[in-house]
Structure 1
Amino acid sequence: MKKFSFLFVFACLILACNNDDDTIDSCNKATNILAENITTTDATISWSDPNNAASYFIEYGVSGFTIGSGTIIIASDTTTELQNLSAETTYDVYIQAVCNTDNLSMYSDVYSFTTATLPVIPEFRQNLSELNLFSGNLGDLQPSPFAFNYDLNSKLFTDYAIKQRLIALPEGEKMTFNGDGFPMFPDNTVIAKTFYYNNNETDLSQGKNIIETRLLIKINGSWELGNYKWNAAQTDATLDVDGAVVPVTWVNTEGESQSIDYEIPSSTDCFTCHSNNSQTTPIGPKLRTLNFNVNGSNQLQTLIDNNMLDGLSDPSTVGVLPNWEDTSLGLERRARAYMDINCAHCHIEGGFCAEESNLRLAFETAYEESNIYQKRNSIEARIQNTIPQYGMPLIGTTIVHDEGVALLLDYLSSLE
């Protein structure tokens, strides 16, 4: 009797299983996720679904978010729009197919995309952050993808401050080759120079102290000037036309503590140096000063390759301003290069000192026409002085540049 009962129960189980109408087909996860039409705030997401499901759960959030904590939307097709995103931000996306109310697929593999970068704003707004010159935290000084980070082969001295230099062109526009000097810049070009000190040159992990960002913006064919003073928290900078004095301390590469009262120039002071024939002009980014390798690549070639410079195919056809710090070069070339980048913007035809002095200190000016020899005693006295209205340069520094002065004194003593 027990054997009969067991066989009866077993047979019933077999029949029950063979007649199970609730068997659920596998619900496969979505694949081939793609983001298109990405802007600063929106993106179109599409995917493939082998189930032909009627609906889908899309969960997304800033990259690295935990599933369940993101934003969830429901879609009835294999395409959907994500809106109200933040610019320059990477997002993760997961998708679940809803085969029926009781049958969801596993989450798809994570798919990541980054929203577009905000364009640089060629306007003097109240806060530097509003111009979009930098990406991420402003104090990191990470240039926007729309800005070109450049350097100069021979540099101007500003109380040992470190400088970051940027050129941002309007989208789709280029500079145009115009010889060894300045290229022709399109309207709405922004040239920015940020001044800062590393807190400790022997330990860069101690961060930096950003003082100011100076801007030149080309508006309706003319350059306009503006200075931004950074706040103590290093989170933003505000437009400041009046200038300021900022106490700065840092440790130099020799481990010595340094201290100065750094002077942020007023708009009037800026115009003094950045003017020629009463018109505002840049100083640094002449093509001959950019024509050297940075990180193994020639800067002019990089500009060409990035479609930022038109009319030039071979950087070797452009002159090069020597690096005054390169001791392998001759004394005269180094000294004349130093004078060019530090002094010539005032001591050229049309410059601020053109009528007061016959010194002509552009590198290309022949020595016989420069009047350096005739003015050598005056030069020697004034470059070693910081007396207002007497020491040279007239503005822009508060201390003597020891290395530069040593170079010029050697040069002047060699003249006959």
Structure 2
Amino acid sequence: MTLKKLTTSALLFGSLLVLTACGGSDDADDSAGAPPPAEPTICENTEGAINTLALATENCQSLASYRLFSDPTDPTANPNGTAVGYDLTTPLFSDYTSKYRFVFVPEGMQAQYDPDESFEFPVGTVITKTFALPADTAFRGIENETKIETRLLIRRESSWAALPYVWNAEGTKATLAIAGEISDRSLIHNGNEKDFKYHVPDMNQCKQCHQFKSDSTSSVSKFVPIGPKARHLNGDYDYGADGIRNQLLYWQEAGILAGLPADMNQVDRMAVYQDGDEAGLDSKSPEELQALAKGYLDINCAHCHRPEGGGSNTGLNLEYWRDFPTNRFAHGVCKKPVAYGGGTLSFDIVPGDAENSILHFRMNSTTAGDRMPELARSLVHTEGVALIAAWIDGLTGSCVP
């Protein structure tokens, strides 16, 4: 397997002495006192290998300044350096966009495996995620899509930096959008046209979803990635010339992941749920529905809804590893909402009755204040709602009013 090497050398900038002619004069004294042109800043040079110095220190205005991709207008393919593409077994829903992900781990360094949480990545790591909107979700692939944004997570010396870049209408340039952006978009899904407002989060909103406390009693949060957890990566990915491989094993062989158990049976593998799978929900057993629902709630909700997350005050804890039969109340069964009024609904989950469950209602709403998740979507994920409804309707028991 051949991987391009990620350069760790910084760019050396030389001073340029430019002689100018004024008014056609041959008199050298005319320009003798003129100052030389300013040296280009770290972010201005867009030629060459990955701009490691800029990544380490600068929030560049243009995504191209970091030189992460061989074609600066296409962040969906041909990354520079040791970058590896990856995907999540069950995706986090974001208004039916396609997502193109790469992780850049500096040469000679490794991420450290963790059985439950996001891997511990070394300083210098960059994670890129590009969101592209298909004209029709029946026809995926960047050739049928419009690039909207590329988000960078950069592991700097002090912490992770989250930088959102928004693509222009021509798809030729992505510019830093510290304050985020709201744009009018439309797509066709299952034959129906959907018009909506697409929200690019601002930098503070990024922190809202990515915050994590070392334990539930801590008052200090740190910023962590959401997707790169073992259970989300324990599946196959098409690596082109290297074939279709298990992502975790590939990362290990590529030398960017350390600590992976020798016995892959020790690594959680989530039940996979993709759009289109809702057609087969009626044939699933209660155990299969629960496994699918647990996986969906884990990637879409549990980064906030856990004792260490941003939604810890709700008492709703949805981590994948949390056992459901012995923690039904923590999962919302017969639990009254803490941070939400509930309206005419009384419990987060009413066994056997999705229509009267707050969890289902909020997932099925687009109204601000009711919608859940609060960020990252304007549309209802009808396939996800169908899964959670089937799971709730299959639960047994009753709640005391």
- Select the residue among 322, 327, 335 that pairs with 1:365: 322
The alignment partner of 2:74 has SS state of: helix
Asked if residue 291 in structure 1 is aligned to residue 251 in structure 2, the reply is no
Contact 2:261–2:267 (CA under 8 A) maintained in structure 1? no
1:6-21 alignment, distance < 5 Å: none
The alignment partner of 1:211 has SS state of: strand
| CA displacement at 1:283 relative to structure 2 | 0.7
Match in the other structure for 1:109: none
- Select the residue among 225, 230, 237 that pairs with 2:174: 237
The one-letter amino acid of 2:358's match is: S
Change in CA separation of 1:206 and 1:176 when aligned onto 2, cut-off 3 Å: closer
Task: Name the structure, 1 or 2, with higher relative contact order (CA <8 Å, separation 6+).
Answer: 2
CA distance in 2, matches of 1:243, 1:87: 27
| CA displacement at 1:251 relative to structure 2 | 3.8
CA distance in 2, matches of 1:185, 1:119: 19
CA distance in 2, matches of 1:156, 1:408: 14
1:174-323 alignment, distance < 5 Å: 174-201=110-137, 207-252=144-189, 254-277=190-213, 278-295=221-238, 296-312=244-260, 314=262, 315-323=264-272
CA distance in 2, matches of 1:171, 1:205: 29
Q: How many residues align?
A: 303
Looking at CA atoms only, which structure, 1 or 2, has the larger radius of gyration? 1
Contact 2:114–2:229 (CA under 8 A) maintained in structure 1? no
Change in CA separation of 1:258 and 1:181 when aligned onto 2, cut-off 3 Å: same
Match in the other structure for 1:345: 303
CA-to-aligned-CA distance 1:328-362 (integer Å, 9 cap, x gap):
6810100111110000011001211101x111001
Contact 1:322–1:334 (CA under 8 A) maintained in structure 2? yes
Greater mean alpha carbon deviation, residues 322-331 or residues 216-225: 322-331
CA-to-aligned-CA distance 1:211-256 (integer Å, 9 cap, x gap):
111121111242121111111111121111111111223344x454
Q: Would you identify which runs of 4 or more consecutive aligned residues in structure 1 move more than 4 Å?
A: 200-206, 326-329
CA distance in 2, matches of 1:255, 1:400: 16
Contact 1:336–1:363 (CA under 8 A) maintained in structure 2? yes
| CA displacement at 1:408 relative to structure 2 | 0.6
| CA displacement at 1:87 relative to structure 2 | 6.4
Pairwise CA RMSD? 2.4
| TM, length-normalised to structure 1 | 0.68
Where in structure 1 are there 5+ consecutive unaligned residues?
A: 1-38, 41-85, 89-116
Where in structure 2 are there 5+ consecutive unaligned residues?
A: 1-6, 9-45, 214-220, 239-243, 335-347, 350-356, 397-401
| CA displacement at 1:138 relative to structure 2 | 1.8
The alignment partner of 2:374 has SS state of: coil
Q: Percent identity?
A: 32
The one-letter amino acid of 1:366's match is: D
CA-to-aligned-CA distance 1:164-222 (integer Å, 9 cap, x gap):
11111122211122324322210111111111112345566864211111121111242
Asked if residue 396 in structure 1 is aligned to residue 376 in structure 2, the reply is yes
Change in CA separation of 1:385 and 1:207 when aligned onto 2, cut-off 3 Å: closer
Contact 1:199–1:206 (CA under 8 A) maintained in structure 2? no
| CA displacement at 1:139 relative to structure 2 | 2.9
| CA displacement at 1:372 relative to structure 2 | 2.4
Match in the other structure for 2:289: 331
The one-letter amino acid of 1:133's match is: L
Match in the other structure for 1:147: 83
CA distance in 2, matches of 1:118, 1:385: 43
Asked if residue 159 in structure 1 is aligned to residue 95 in structure 2, the reply is yes
Change in CA separation of 1:337 and 1:87 when aligned onto 2, cut-off 3 Å: same
1:81-120 alignment, distance < 5 Å: 117-118=49-50
The one-letter amino acid of 1:161's match is: T
Q: Which has the higher strand share?
A: 1
CA distance in 2, matches of 1:351, 1:316: 28
Change in CA separation of 1:270 and 1:118 when aligned onto 2, cut-off 3 Å: closer
